[in-house]
Structure 1
C-alpha cells in the first residue's frame, strides 16, 4: 500500500485546512513530512479519541441548536395562557424581541470569542462561553415576567456567537488531516440534532420541564469537556507551554510514546511561529484586491443565507404551520422538519466535494426561491379568503423543500467558503467581522418580521424572501468562483486575477 502524504500545516486562527499548504516551504518542512509518513507507516492509527473529543466539544453545538429551536414550541404557549409561566400572554412586540435577541447576542459573541481564544485558550473560551446557556435556561425556569426571557435569549445568543466562532477553530486544531473534514461537519450535524431536540420534546412537556431538559445538555458538556478533553496543542504552543502541548497531542493521538508525535509537534511549532510573525489587522483586508473581494463574497453569501428567511422558518416553524392550517398537527410538522434537516445535513457533506460548491449554491438558491414563492402563493390565497383546505399539504411540502435545499447549499457552504477565502494571517479578524454581520442581519429580520408581516402579510414576506433567493442565485452565478479542489494559494490567485488560465485547462 502506498503511504499517504500527511501535511500538518495548521491554520493560525480558524483551525486547519488540508488545502492550506500544497508544497513544503523549505527543506525542514519536507523532511518533517517524510518523517511523518515513515512513522505513520510503522504504527497503527487510532483516531477514536479524536472523534470522542470532537463529539464532546460539539455538545456545545447541540446546545446552540436547542436554543435556536427553543422559540418554535415555546412562543405559541407564551402567547396564550396554556402552560404559560407568566401572569399574562406576551405581546407581539415581546414575541419579536424574544425571537430576535438571540441573533443580536450572537452578533456580539464573535468579538468576545476572538479576544478570549488567543488569551485564555480555545478550551476555556468554550467552557466560559457555555455558562450563558446555563444562566439563560435557569432564568427561563425562574421566569415570572417577560424580562427574564428577554435576558435569557440575549445571553444564549452571546453563547451561540462564541461557540460558532471557537468550536470550528478547536476541532480543526485537534484533528488529523485525514479526518478534519469529517469532524468539521459535526458542527452542523449537532446543531440540527439540537433543533430536533427542541422540536420533538418542547410541545409535549411543560414549560418548566422543557427548560430543565434543555439544561441537561450544557451541564453535560461543561463536566465532560472540562474533565476529559485536552486543550488545543496549537494554542499551548502559542503560549510556550510545550510540554503540555506534547501531552495533549499524545492523548489526542492515543499514544504513550512522545516520539510518535514529535514530527507533528515540530510542524505545529513552525506553523505557530509563521502565523505570529505575519498576523494582520482588519484594515489590511482592504489593502489587497484579493482580500477585499474575498470579504465581499463571504459577506454576500452569509447575507443571502439570512435573507433567505432561515431564522424565520426555524424560530417560528410551529406558528407558521398553525397559521397555515396544515392537516397534520403543527408540532408534528416541526419534528418532520428537524428529521429532514439532520438527514440532508449529512448528504451535503458528501456532495460538496463531488459536485462543487458553486453548483450546490445555485441549486440551493433556486430550490429555496421556488419553495418561498409557493408558500407566498398559499398565504396569498388564504388571505383572500379562498378555500385552501385542498392545499393543506402545500405549506409542509414547501418548508421541507426549503430545508432540504438550504441544507444542501446555503446552510453549510457559505461558512466553508469563508474559511477558504482568507489566508491565516487575516482569517481571525475577517471571520469575526463576517460572522457578526451575518448574525446582525438575522437579528433585523427576526425582530421586524412580525411588523413587516402586518404591513404586507405573510404572502408578501415570503415573496420577498423568494426574490432574495433569486438575487442570491444571480450573485453566485455572476461573481463566485469555484473553490473546490483548489489550494488556498490558487484561490488567492483567482481573487487577485493572477490565475493562469492554462493551469485551469490542464486540471479540467
Structure 2
C-alpha cells in the first residue's frame, strides 16, 4: 500500500486521487463507464425505511385515538377515556420532540456520520413503542410521543442530507422524493392494521419496523462526502464505487469534485450565522423554510392525525376506518408518481399544481362542513368529503409533501448543510405543533374555519412558488449555488 493511501489528511487533491488509482494498476479510459443508478436507488430505499417508521408514528393517532377516547376501555391501556385536551397533546407532542432533535442530529451527522445517526433514530422509536405497551397513565403516552418526535427529528434532518449526497444530478429529484412515498406507506400500514387489531397488537406491528430498517440500512455505505470530510479517502472511494457501480477509475472525476467541495467546506467552515451572512444562503434558507412552512400550513398533520375522526364527523355513510384506508392507498399511489416525474416536469411546476389543487380541495371541505354545521342540510353535498380529501392527498403527495425535502437536500453547500437542515426541520415541526395543538380549539368554532384557513395559506403558497422558488431541475449542486449567488452558468 502506498503512502498516499495511508495518509489521514483531509486535504488530498485530484492528483493524489489519480496516484491512488495508478497504484492500484488502473489506467484512464477514454470511454466513461455507465453509472448503475439502481445502486443509488437501493441505498436510498434502505435509508427511506426510516421514513416508513416516521409514517407509522404520524399515522398512529388516527386508529389509536378512537380507542383512547372510547367509553369502553377494554381495548385501551388507560382506565378512563382521554379528554379532548389530552387528545390534542397526544397528537401534537411528537412535533415538540421533532423540532428540538434537529439541533442534535445535524452536528452528530458531521461527527459520527449520516448513516449512524439514521441508525440511532431507531432507539427512540423502539423505546417509544415499548412505553406505549406499558402505559397506564396519560403522561406515559405523552412521554412516548415526545420520544417518537426525537426519532422523527433525527430522520427528517439527516435523511435528506444522506440521499442528496449519494445521488447523481440526473436522479437526485427522484430519490429525494422517495421520502414522502415511504412516509405515506408507513401511514397506510397503521391505517390498514390499527382499526382491526388490538391496541397492544398494533404496538408490536410498529416496533418491528425500525428493527428491520436497521438490518437493511446497516449494509449500505456511508455518504462519500462524510468520508472525504474525515480524510478517509479509501472509504470515500469505495463508497462511491458501490453507489455508482463503477471501478476506481470510473469514479475518478466525481471523486475529485467531491474532494474539491469538501476541501472548500473545510477551509470555509460554516456556522449558524453563515446562513444569514451570505446572500445565497439567505435565499436558500428563505426558499426551503418557506416551502416547509406552507407544507405544514396546508393542514396535512390535521388530516393525517385525525382522518378517522374527520370522516366520522362528516357522517358520509362510509365506515371511517375504510375511508381512511382509501386515503392511505391514494397517498401511496400518488407518492409513487413523484420519483417518476420530479426530474421531468421540474420542482416548480409540480409545486404550483400542488398548491392550486390543494386550495380547491380544502375550500370544498370547508364548504361541506359549513353546510353541515350552519345550513344543516348536506343532502346535496354528502358525497363531497371523500373525493375532496382524495384530491387533496394526491396533489400533496406529488408536490408539497416530498419536494420541500428534496429541495432542502440540494440547496445548501456542504459546510452549512447540517445547520440549514436543523433550522428547516425545526421550522417544520414548530408549525406542525402549532397547527395540531390548536386545531381542536379552532375546530370547536366550526370545522369550516380550519379548512378555509388552510385553503387561504395555499393560495399564498402559489405566489410564493411563482415568484420566489428557483427551479433546480437538471442542475448540479455547484450550479445551484452559482445561481443562488447571482452567477449564471
TM-score by length of 2: 0.87
Task: Indicate yes or no: 2:440 matched with 1:450.
Answer: yes
1:29 touches 1:267 (CA, 8 Å); kept in 2? Answer: no
2-side partners of 1:175 and 1:365: how far apart? 27
Query: Which region of structure 1 is more displaced relative to structure 2, 263-272 or 332-341?
Result: 263-272
Distance (whole Å) between structure 2 residues aligned to residue 242 and residue 68 of structure 1? 39
Summarize the Cα distance change of 1:419–1:186 in structure 2 as closer, same or farther, 3 Å threshold: closer
1:70-89 equivalences under 5 Å are: 70-80=60-70, 81=72, 83-89=75-81
Aligned CA distance change for structure 1 residues 29 and 340 (closer, same or farther; 3 Å): farther
In structure 2, how many angstroms separate the alpha carbons of the residues matched to 1:216 and 1:427? 31
Give distance in 1, aligned partners of 2:487 and 2:82. Answer: 57
More deviation, 143-152/417-426 = 417-426
Q: Which residue of 2 aligns with 1:484?
A: 473
The answer to whether residue 186 in structure 2 is matched with residue 232 in structure 1 is no
Pick one of 403, 418, 427 that aligns with 2:417: 427
Deviation for aligned residue 1:322: 0.6
Partner of 2:452: 463
**Residue in structure 2 matched with residue 16 of structure 1 by the alignment:** none
Residues 424-445 of structure 1, C-alpha deviation per residue, up to 9 Å, x if partnerless? 3333222221221111110111
**1:121 is aligned to 2:110:** no
* 1:143 and 1:149 in contact (8 A); partners too: yes
SS at match of 1:417: helix
The aligned runs of 1:85-484 (5 Å cut-off) are 85-226=77-218, 228-253=219-244, 264-384=254-374, 386-454=376-444, 456-484=445-473
1:9 is matched with none
RMSD: 3.0
Q: Which stretch shows the higher mean deviation, 154-163 or 266-275?
A: 266-275
Q: How far did 1:308 drift?
A: 1.1
CA distance in structure 2 between the partners assigned to 1:272 and 1:366 by the alignment: 40
What is the number of equivalent residue pairs in this alignment?
471
Q: CA separation in 2, counterparts of 1:244 and 1:494?
A: 32
> What's the CA shift for 1:457?
1.2
* Whole-angstrom CA distance in 1 between matches of 2:209 and 2:370: 41
Would the alpha carbon gap of residues 180 and 300 (structure 1) be closer, same or farther in structure 2, given more than 3 Å must change? closer
CA shift in 2, pair 1:295/1:69, >3 Å: same
| Change in 2 beyond 3 A, CA 1:37/1:329 | farther
**Where do 5+ consecutive residues of structure 2 fail to align?**
1-12
Is the Cα contact below 8 Å between 2:178 and 2:402 reproduced in 1?
Answer: no
> Which consecutive residues of structure 1, in runs of 5 or more, have no partner in the other structure?
1-25, 504-508
Shift in Å at residue 45 of structure 1?
A: 5.6
8 A Cα contact 1:327 1:393, kept in partner = no
Tell me: CA distance 1:391–1:170, structure 2 relative to 1, closer, same or farther (3 Å): same
Q: CA deviation digits over 1:239-271, x for unaligned, max 9?
A: 23334444444544557x655656554443333
2:36/2:245 contact within 8 Å kept = yes
